[in-house]
Chains A and B, each alone.
Chain A
């Protein structure tokens, strides 16, 4: 890779780093939406060969700021300087031309196209020929495994994110902006990404790193700028701070820890999965192989695993979106459920929260009251003799809003207009308020701010303590350690034996996630690790 530092412009001003000047400087950046101040006179300096964290809760103004840096929005006041020169970033193309790349939290990929085609579309004047080789090469050298020829719609969230990262790296950026990049990665994958980022830093590139995960910011970043309410409240060296002190600066107060009441009494098994094998219709999907586990009343079972190892298929077959081959391979509350539809399983007292908030759990352009019907029509007074009771659906939205503090601009907005954290609270609340006896939830706090994540985890723990069985699928190990009683790992469609969470350490889980020590045909994978 080229040495980008040689491109430095002549020094135009002094700073505490002597003659050097920052790569990018934001001076008094303000962004107004009507009366609302999204960014209030934000100053920021990003230096070459620096990993710079941008911390803040949802709504603190992080996204607005980086969108201006990437040219997607124009500041209402203030200016950016690049190598000390005032610049105008009129659009993403202009930003890319300067050497600014960005990996978004929400991906912009064409589902029907392949990985390579998506990468080619995102590059400015890229030759289509040879793109597959280049993708394979970059993905290999930076440890981001990807098959360039696979169609995007077959990929998991984690794999989709890798496409975005590879796409950026192909443009040889001087400043790389990453928005919550580790939210779908395993500890090992995250560690691999950190190694990648450290290599990039060594190459002289600057990285602007947006995250809620304080520990990883402390492990990775050289500088942290903390935003609250659109203002910079602190700029610090995160390595000199504790996670607690960073959290305090972010929220401006203490963050409540999740509590369970400790004394757990487990009841009978509410979900019994026995010798469940499942071949998905999609030829590139993951085959589930002889999956067996139980979840008891009052218990939270955590399911860890790298994205794309059969979680999607397991969720589909457990929820009833796909049917199992035999009815008795899935029993819900003592009844054979493998052949039942999702609606019939809901009537047995089950509830489901899928990974994708928008488009799967909710219809983006539907109002919250209509979205309440998606799971609510199965068993509730919202529908009588085929007619929808609007009063009931609106009242249900009101109950969710109150119980889970869903912030919204009006009483019944479209799902799309809610922030990620608030929509997730709505979706989780929608299922938990039905008082299910079995809850299966995938990625409950993906891309959700610390406050909302704590509230959601607390709600799950409270539901279990009221006697429900809960299966949590998550790629956030911290989360699983925090809330689950037992842990089980999925790898290539096979499950490890469940272990009590307090008796199993992260190293062991990490090995299982990589397929080492799996029962059955696990030996074949041992050589890979």
Chain B
């Protein structure tokens, strides 16, 4: 008796849908075991972590707020990953977007600048993120440098740049020496959707991006080009598509979306620049992209789930006294299971009985 992986003739569509769910189930089971090891009642803990936020109106809103940057970043990453370009530095592009967009807010602070401020912030945020993503892309195309390493390392550069800005040139003179910029003016603030709630207009932008990306990837020649270059580079060259140009284009797209997410996050929820503006959205979005099967609609669902782990993690920290880092542990376990379960799309597991020597042979 042994287990064997048997290649499927065609990929299984059913499993492609089921595999993320299976991964989530396995993550929950592992999580329960983890809680038990920590000496917490496992079922109770899972309820606090994953169910309670879903029945609390405030937590539901927070889930959408946290999912917004995840969706924006992950859609861009999916475009990159489909084209076989590995942008791991979305966190850095997110920060640079917040900086370049935030610059408008800082520069116009206290003036009577009009309603053009917020649109200008969004555009500059996207441009800044795109420009920052072009660095690893051009290094890869020109010198063959691994984009995985360069894009990741640039994250730390961006973190330090933001840190320096808010402690140095951009620090609010009336801010009691706290490392933050001045609070953004009203014209530099993302409007909320419902009066008095934290739900903001960025969620609508994220939805529009999902719809747009679904159309581009599913219906257009550009989308076909992206998928073909990633899946079969030689066939893509035969089709007349240039993989180098596409690497640059997809990096620019994902950088722009990450930068947009950065400036939206800052203008909508924080309202000033400070050293910590992201709980690792750029990295969590990598998990979102894979959990969502690199499909924009899947990403929308996956982002809501990952946002739940953030909210649940905060709740668990308060009521269970477990460390907040448990959220990251959950996210890591989830990514692991997602990638493992994907094997089942191309392969099926078979139990092979030890073959018996046929009897009765003449």
- As a 0/1 sequence over residues 29 to 72 of chain A, the CB contacts with chain B under 8 angstroms (1 = contact) are 00000000000000000000000000000000000000000000
Contact A388 B221 (CB under 8 A): yes
- As a 0/1 sequence over residues 220 to 241 of chain B, the CB contacts with chain A under 8 angstroms (1 = contact) are 1110100110011011111110
- As a 0/1 sequence over residues 77 to 91 of chain A, the CB contacts with chain B under 8 angstroms (1 = contact) are 111010000101010
Expressed in whole angstroms, the Cα–Cα distance for A417 and B355 within the complex equals: 28
Contact residue among A343, A359, A374, A414 (Cβ-Cβ distance under 8 Å from B11): A414
Assess whether B219 is interfacial by the CB under 8 Å rule.
Answer: yes
- When distances are taken between beta carbons in the complex, the residues of chain B under 8 Å from A28 are 361
Assess whether B55 is interfacial by the CB under 8 Å rule.
Answer: no
Contact A359 B239 (CB under 8 A): no
- Which of chain B's residues has its CB closest to A342's CB? B240
Expressed in whole angstroms, the Cα–Cα distance for A30 and B361 within the complex equals: 14
A-B contact list, 23 entries, CB within 8 Å: A74-B352, A74-B355, A79-B358, A81-B361, A86-B358, A88-B356, A90-B354, A320-B240, A356-B234, A359-B232, A359-B234, A361-B238, A363-B228, A363-B232, A363-B235, A363-B236, A366-B227, A370-B228, A374-B228, A374-B235, A374-B239, A377-B224, A388-B224
Contact B355 A388 (CB under 8 A): no
Contact B357 A86 (CB under 8 A): yes
Whether A360 contacts B234 in the complex (CB less than 8 A), given A27-B361, A416-B10, comes out as yes
Contact B224 A370 (CB under 8 A): yes
Assess whether A506 is interfacial by the CB under 8 Å rule.
Answer: no
- Which of chain A's residues has its CB closest to B231's CB? A363
Please name the 9 residue pairs, one residue from A and one from B, whose CB atoms are nearest each other, closest first.
A343-B240, A363-B232, A79-B358, A374-B239, A342-B240, A363-B235, A360-B234, A383-B221, A417-B9
User: Which residues of A333-368 are within 8 A (CB) of B?
Assistant: 341-343, 346, 352, 354, 356, 359-366
Contact B240 A27 (CB under 8 A): no
Contacts A28-B361, A341-B240, A413-B10 given; 17 further ones with Cβ under 8 A?
A27-B361, A79-B358, A86-B358, A90-B354, A319-B238, A321-B237, A363-B236, A364-B232, A370-B224, A373-B224, A374-B238, A377-B221, A377-B239, A386-B222, A387-B219, A414-B10, A414-B11
- When distances are taken between beta carbons in the complex, the residues of chain B under 8 Å from A352 are 238
User: Which residues of A364-409 are within 8 A (CB) of B?
Assistant: 364-366, 370, 373-375, 377-378, 383, 386-388
- Which of chain B's residues has its CB closest to A382's CB? B221
Expressed in whole angstroms, the Cα–Cα distance for A510 and B167 within the complex equals: 79
- As a 0/1 sequence over residues 344 to 361 of chain B, the CB contacts with chain A under 8 angstroms (1 = contact) are 000000001011111001
Shortest CB distance B213–A (Å): 15
Expressed in whole angstroms, the Cα–Cα distance for A365 and B355 within the complex equals: 33
Contact A359 B357 (CB under 8 A): no
User: Which residues of B309-362 are within 8 A (CB) of A?
Assistant: 352, 354-358, 361-362
User: Which residues of B134-180 are within 8 A (CB) of A?
Assistant: none
Expressed in whole angstroms, the Cα–Cα distance for A21 and B39 within the complex equals: 69
- Which of chain B's residues has its CB closest to A346's CB? B240
Expressed in whole angstroms, the Cα–Cα distance for A383 and B228 within the complex equals: 16
Whether A77 contacts B10 in the complex (CB less than 8 A), given A370-B224, A386-B222, A387-B220, comes out as no
Shortest CB distance A344–B (Å): 8
Contact A342 B238 (CB under 8 A): yes
Expressed in whole angstroms, the Cα–Cα distance for A508 and B307 within the complex equals: 74
Shortest CB distance B138–A (Å): 20
Expressed in whole angstroms, the Cα–Cα distance for A81 and B221 within the complex equals: 56
User: Which residues of A284-319 are within 8 A (CB) of B?
Assistant: 319
Shortest CB distance A83–B (Å): 14
Expressed in whole angstroms, the Cα–Cα distance for A29 and B264 within the complex equals: 67
Expressed in whole angstroms, the Cα–Cα distance for A377 and B228 within the complex equals: 13
- When distances are taken between beta carbons in the complex, the residues of chain A under 8 Å from B361 are 27-28, 79, 81, 86
- When distances are taken between beta carbons in the complex, the residues of chain B under 8 Å from A363 are 228, 231-232, 235-236
- Which of chain A's residues has its CB closest to B222's CB? A386
Whether A88 contacts B357 in the complex (CB less than 8 A), given A359-B234, A386-B221, A413-B10, comes out as yes
- When distances are taken between beta carbons in the complex, the residues of chain A under 8 Å from B222 are 386
Expressed in whole angstroms, the Cα–Cα distance for A90 and B222 within the complex equals: 47
Shortest CB distance B156–A (Å): 31
Contact A366 B228 (CB under 8 A): yes
- When distances are taken between beta carbons in the complex, the residues of chain A under 8 Å from B362 are 27
Shortest CB distance A440–B (Å): 12
Shortest CB distance A174–B (Å): 21
Interface size range on A against B: 35 or more
- Which of chain B's residues has its CB closest to A29's CB? B358
Expressed in whole angstroms, the Cα–Cα distance for A364 and B9 within the complex equals: 11
Shortest CB distance A114–B (Å): 20
Contact B232 A79 (CB under 8 A): no
- When distances are taken between beta carbons in the complex, the residues of chain A under 8 Å from B234 are 356, 359-360
| Residues of B that sit less than 8 Å from A by CB | 9-11, 219-222, 224, 227-228, 231-232, 234-240, 352, 354-358, 361-362
Expressed in whole angstroms, the Cα–Cα distance for A378 and B225 within the complex equals: 12
- When distances are taken between beta carbons in the complex, the residues of chain A under 8 Å from B237 are 321, 342
Shortest CB distance B225–A (Å): 9
- When distances are taken between beta carbons in the complex, the residues of chain B under 8 Å from A365 are 11, 231-232
User: Which residues of A409-428 are within 8 A (CB) of B?
Assistant: 413-414, 416-417
Expressed in whole angstroms, the Cα–Cα distance for A81 and B240 within the complex equals: 53
Expressed in whole angstroms, the Cα–Cα distance for A74 and B222 within the complex equals: 45
Expressed in whole angstroms, the Cα–Cα distance for A383 and B219 within the complex equals: 10
Expressed in whole angstroms, the Cα–Cα distance for A86 and B357 within the complex equals: 7
- When distances are taken between beta carbons in the complex, the residues of chain A under 8 Å from B236 are 363
Expressed in whole angstroms, the Cα–Cα distance for A352 and B237 within the complex equals: 13
- Which residue of A79, A356, A359, A363 has the most chain B CB atoms within 10 A of its CB atom? A363
Expressed in whole angstroms, the Cα–Cα distance for A485 and B237 within the complex equals: 31
Expressed in whole angstroms, the Cα–Cα distance for A373 and B235 within the complex equals: 11
- When distances are taken between beta carbons in the complex, the residues of chain A under 8 Å from B355 are 74, 88, 90
- As a 0/1 sequence over residues 200 to 216 of chain A, the CB contacts with chain B under 8 angstroms (1 = contact) are 00000000000000000
Contact residue among A90, A321, A414 (Cβ-Cβ distance under 8 Å from B238): A321
- Which of chain A's residues has its CB closest to B4's CB? A91
Expressed in whole angstroms, the Cα–Cα distance for A378 and B221 within the complex equals: 11
Contact A359 B221 (CB under 8 A): no
- When distances are taken between beta carbons in the complex, the residues of chain B under 8 Å from A78 are 358
Contact B232 A366 (CB under 8 A): yes
Expressed in whole angstroms, the Cα–Cα distance for A373 and B220 within the complex equals: 11
Contact B221 A354 (CB under 8 A): no
- When distances are taken between beta carbons in the complex, the residues of chain B under 8 Å from A342 are 237-240
Expressed in whole angstroms, the Cα–Cα distance for A90 and B232 within the complex equals: 34
- When distances are taken between beta carbons in the complex, the residues of chain B under 8 Å from A388 are 219-221, 224
Contact B357 A79 (CB under 8 A): yes
- When distances are taken between beta carbons in the complex, the residues of chain B under 8 Å from A361 are 235, 238
- When distances are taken between beta carbons in the complex, the residues of chain B under 8 Å from A81 are 361
Expressed in whole angstroms, the Cα–Cα distance for A88 and B356 within the complex equals: 8
Whether A375 contacts B239 in the complex (CB less than 8 A), given A79-B357, A86-B357, A359-B232, comes out as yes
- When distances are taken between beta carbons in the complex, the residues of chain B under 8 Å from A387 are 219-221
Shortest CB distance B3–A (Å): 14
Expressed in whole angstroms, the Cα–Cα distance for A343 and B225 within the complex equals: 13
Shortest CB distance B342–A (Å): 13
Expressed in whole angstroms, the Cα–Cα distance for A262 and B228 within the complex equals: 42
- Which of chain B's residues has its CB closest to A88's CB? B355
Whether A373 contacts B357 in the complex (CB less than 8 A), given A387-B219, A388-B219, comes out as no
Expressed in whole angstroms, the Cα–Cα distance for A28 and B360 within the complex equals: 12
- Which of chain B's residues has its CB closest to A319's CB? B238
Expressed in whole angstroms, the Cα–Cα distance for A360 and B355 within the complex equals: 39
- When distances are taken between beta carbons in the complex, the residues of chain A under 8 Å from B10 are 413-414, 416-417
Expressed in whole angstroms, the Cα–Cα distance for A260 and B354 within the complex equals: 56
Expressed in whole angstroms, the Cα–Cα distance for A278 and B220 within the complex equals: 35
- Which of chain B's residues has its CB closest to A389's CB? B219
Shortest CB distance A287–B (Å): 21
Contact A77 B358 (CB under 8 A): yes
- Which residue of A319, A356, A366 has the most chain B CB atoms within 10 A of its CB atom? A366
- When distances are taken between beta carbons in the complex, the residues of chain A under 8 Å from B231 are 363, 365-366
- Which residue of B237, B238, B352 has the most chain A CB atoms within 10 A of its CB atom? B238
Shortest CB distance A35–B (Å): 15
- When distances are taken between beta carbons in the complex, the residues of chain B under 8 Å from A374 are 228, 235, 238-239
